[in-house]
Amino acid sequence: GRDLFGVKKDGTEIPIEIGLNPLEQNESHFILASIIDITERKKNEEAILLYTKRLEDKNKELEQFTFIAS
């Protein structure tokens, strides 16, 4: 549930997701870590939130229009 950020070689920050998976091999325990760049996912989430807000605003306008028209 935390927002995590990684730093690229050029110094820019990017949102990341870290996955951890336990592994066992020959009675030894390991952790496999994967780091995923989620920049596109974050952009899509922001676009969806903006679109949702616009739809809510348009619905309010439509409700006001319907109330006035009736």
Cα gap 70→66, rounded to integer Å: 6
Angle at CA of residue 66, ends 60 and 70, nearest 5°: 150
Res. 4 pLDDT band, cuts 50 70 90? very high
Q: What is the pLDDT of residue 1?
A: 66
Q: What is the pLDDT of residue 70?
A: 83
Please tell me the pTM assigned to this model: 0.65
Cα gap 7→70, rounded to integer Å: 57
pLDDT in tens, 9-66: 999 999 999 999 999 999 999 999 999 999 999 999 999 999 999 999 999 999 999 9
Record the tokens describing residue 46, joined without a space: 């922001």
**H helices within 1-70, ranges in order?**
39-69
